[in-house]
Chain A
Amino acid sequence: MTSPNVRQWVSSNAWVWSYAGAFLVFVAMLPFTSGHGVIQTTQVALQFSTFYVMVGLGQMLVIALGNGNIDLSIPGVITLGGFVGLGAGGDGPWGAATAAGATLLVGISAGLVNAIPVRILRIPPMIATLSSGFVFQSVAIAYSRGASAAPPALLADVTTHRSAGVPDLTIIFVFLSVVVAFTLRCTKFGRTILALGQNARAAGLTGLRVGPTITFVYIISSTFAAFTGLLLAASVGGASLDMGQDYLLFSIAVVVLGGAAISGGRASTAGVWGAGLLLVLSVTLLNVIGVSVGVRFLVTGLIIVLVLGLANRRA
């Protein structure tokens, strides 16, 4: 039924699968919600998937570098970003700005801490970032002593406000996603990332600036994670020590479900959104049906394995 052209287009635009999946789950959910519930559910799904996208964009760039690059320090950076950001913020008129500045600093330093062992000491990224993530988490514990400051009013507003029914955060991050997609396609930096992921030796021999690019990508990933921490903490009224936990698996899941190559060299910004929606809607659906937490985790895991299995078979 499908013409070869469509098939070819789908195979090179694997992100459509995540949207197809999200749509299916959405339809499956309709019978369980009554009339107005649909809009509410969609709004909540958008809100939550925005947080997945925030970390997903950074993780996507790291994974696109290929050669085993991955950022497993994201949960630690989220926690640290949340605590330090809110701690620096306070109630003053510049509260939100200082919070953002402090979060940015956390992001940049965390990125450097990740990049140095990966690049200079040549420690496999998986181990380097996992252990540095542990360090960030410990620093967050020491810094917070278990207590979190309240978010600045402006920040709390931004995280909960909706314009024309769409959460402000979603609008901001759709815009940022477009910027990331444009960077990948139309800047030397973006092309270098994708070239590295496809063939690192060729990238080096072509004269691309390999080292600085890797460092910068880790900084971007950590910065996205730190801001996720700040915004997440602001949206729920305070940071907590386990707020980053879920994001280790989900940051990778949205990248891979979104059609990016786990081996690097191919990234899909649109796919990250589709995958984020798919994951959030699945969890919502399971909540609506009323299954236990254990089953929810089980099904989430199954979805990831299933989609990855299908994606690999096509490739």
Chain B
Amino acid sequence: MSLLNHTISQQALDAPAEAFVELAGVGKQFGAVRALSDVDLRITAGRMTSVLGHNGAGKSTLIRIIAGLVKPSAGRVRIAGDAEDKLSPRHALSLGIRCVFQELSLCDSLTVYENTRVLHPNLTGRRWRNRSRALIQQSLDTIFPGHDIDVNELVGRLSIGRRQMIEIARAFTVTDVPVRLVILDEPTSALDAKAANQLMQFTRRVRQEGCSCLFVSHRLREILDYTDDIVVMRDGRVTDTIVMGPNVSASILVEKMGAVHDEAPLQAGSPTRKADGRSVVDITGSNGSIPFRATKGEIVGLSGLAGQGQRELLLQVLSATQRLDSHCKVTGKAAYVAGDRQSEGLFPLWTVAENLSIGSLSKVCRLGVISLRRERTLAERWRAALSIRAPRVAYPIRLLSGGNQQKVLVARAFASEPDVVLFDDPMRGVDVNTKTELYGQVRRLADSGCTFLWYTTEIAELWNCDRVYILRNGRITEEIPRHALSEERVISASFERT
């Protein structure tokens, strides 16, 4: 294997010289988090470069730097041979860089042709509508022959698959600047098989005309069949650059994505087998999804690439506790801990105590009236239990650090004495010490019979779980028991091979 590695790397060095985008030593720091470090990358004209990596590998940051959405904090970016220190989205556009993002950038309340006009401010004058219609119509006809999209329709009325087709077709429309590089971030995940195939075929044609593609996909088949260069990322670094050849297989790619991990995963306590316990959450399998089950006191991990339906699963479980759901049976009470604490968790005008007690007000009530004394006692108890660093419980929550705010949200869930705790990636952006403390609390609560459904984007966190489910395209595709859990297995299951 090492021999193969060597030859592949050697080939990469000998790649053709004409690079459209060239990154040298590029790094990006978000506060204390290092998202990218020392990345060298060449995107050659007329070739497709695939970026491959699991969650947090730095793929999106890399893409956003090239698109001009994020300014690198270190290193140099050269585009078409010129150094670009202050790349903005507008400027990137004028250099011929186009983006197709997973979270679509179309305006729902505008028609298809009006959305096309948004990308081309130079479509002016009395006849801009007709010119815009013709432009997008032609692009759609070329890329997706036989499509049934009416360009006069409002985008908001179209299915997600058709919107994705428009987003792609729009990226390839040309008025003044020729398209030099198209960034395709999971472009096929919302497309049906036929449209996905049409798109991949089309990328071959544009490459012959000298246009480059930067491609991100969780379908290894597409990468293997259509890519010229593969860049493997891990923990914010480029760990491998592979030139496509007959030797490259899905297994090699999976291995490379997880190959350099050797630090011991953070965990607290050793998991105990509880698979024989009473079932607390039961979701019937359907539509290619395997059945889901969580028993009393079990910590069940939800993994896979970000945004593959893990959140939706948690919300389904949460709503099943309130109204009847024939596919999802939940016994007892559920409490949800948000990962995006600003928009889904915190009540910013309130104190720590008020934020903490809101999930369990009935416990501090007497005859329907909240006893402020009991509320304070409850808050004091949880402040001590999770060592929340706030001077007093009547302290404004917005003055706490992010990690301590997150602890308050966890305490809010725990204080309500739930049967199921739903974790929506709550440790994202939390410092290591807080994480370790919270892992211990989770294990302690699980030992006393509370079930956890834990969605995490960090593979290392899965070692706190008794069992792991992998989600892909909104379906549960694989169940991994604790003893079979390995990073490679998780990565391999996250990507689609066929």
Contacts and interface: CB of A to CB of B under 8 A. Distances in A.
Interface of A: 185-188, 191, 194-195, 198-199, 201-203, 205-208, 261, 265-266
B264 interface: no
A261 B343 CA distance: 18
Contacts of A265: 347, 349
Contacts of B343: 199, 201-202
Contacts of A266: 349
B365 to A, nearest CB: 7
Contacts of B372: 185-186
A187 B370 contact: yes
Interface residues of B, number: 25
Contacts of A194: 347, 349-350
B290 interface: no
Contacts of B345: 199, 202, 205
A202 B370 contact: no
Nearest to A186: B370
30 contacts: A185-B370, A186-B370, A187-B369, A187-B370, A188-B362, A188-B365, A188-B370, A191-B358, A191-B361, A191-B370, A194-B350, A195-B347, A195-B358, A198-B347, A198-B348, A198-B349, A199-B343, A199-B346, A201-B344, A202-B343, A202-B344, A202-B347, A205-B336, A206-B358, A206-B359, A207-B359, A207-B416, A261-B349, A265-B347, A265-B349
Interface in B327-368: 335-336, 338, 343-350, 354, 358-359, 361-362, 365, 368
A208 B346 contact: no
A187 B344 contact: no
A266 B365 CA distance: 22
Given A198-B348, A199-B347, A208 B358 contact: yes
Given A186-B369, A194-B350, A203-B347, 6 more contacts: A186-B370, A187-B368, A198-B347, A198-B350, A205-B344, A207-B322
A206 B412 contact: yes
A173 to B, nearest CB: 22
A202 B349 CA distance: 13
B318 interface: yes
A12 to B, nearest CB: 8
A91 to B, nearest CB: 40
Contacts of A202: 338, 343-347
A206 B362 CA distance: 13
A130 B466 CA distance: 56
- Counting from the closest, the 3 A-B pairs by CB-CB distance are A198-B347, A186-B370, A188-B361
B354 A191 contact: yes
B453 to A, nearest CB: 14
A265 B416 CA distance: 23
Contacts of A186: 369-370, 372
A91 B372 CA distance: 47
B43 to A, nearest CB: 39
Nearest to B335: A207
A204 to B, nearest CB: 9
A67 to B, nearest CB: 13
Contacts of B336: 205-207
Contacts of A185: 370, 372
Contacts of B365: 188
Contacts of B348: 198-199
Contacts of A191: 354, 358, 361, 370
Contacts of B349: 194, 198, 261, 265-266
Nearest to A261: B349
Interface string B2-39: 00000000000000000000000000000000000000
Nearest to A206: B359
A186 B347 CA distance: 17
Nearest to B372: A186
Contact of B338 (A188, A195, A198, A205): A205
Nearest to B362: A188
A63 to B, nearest CB: 14
A199 B344 CA distance: 7
A205 B345 CA distance: 8
A249 B402 CA distance: 40
A266 B351 CA distance: 13
Interface string B55-97: 0000000000000000000000000000000000000000000
Contacts of A207: 322, 335-336, 359, 416
A266 B349 CA distance: 7
Contacts of A201: 343-344
Contacts of B338: 202, 205
A6 B424 CA distance: 40
Contacts of B350: 194, 198
A202 B350 CA distance: 13
Interface in B358-399: 358-359, 361-362, 365, 368-370, 372
A142 to B, nearest CB: 39
Contacts of B346: 199, 202
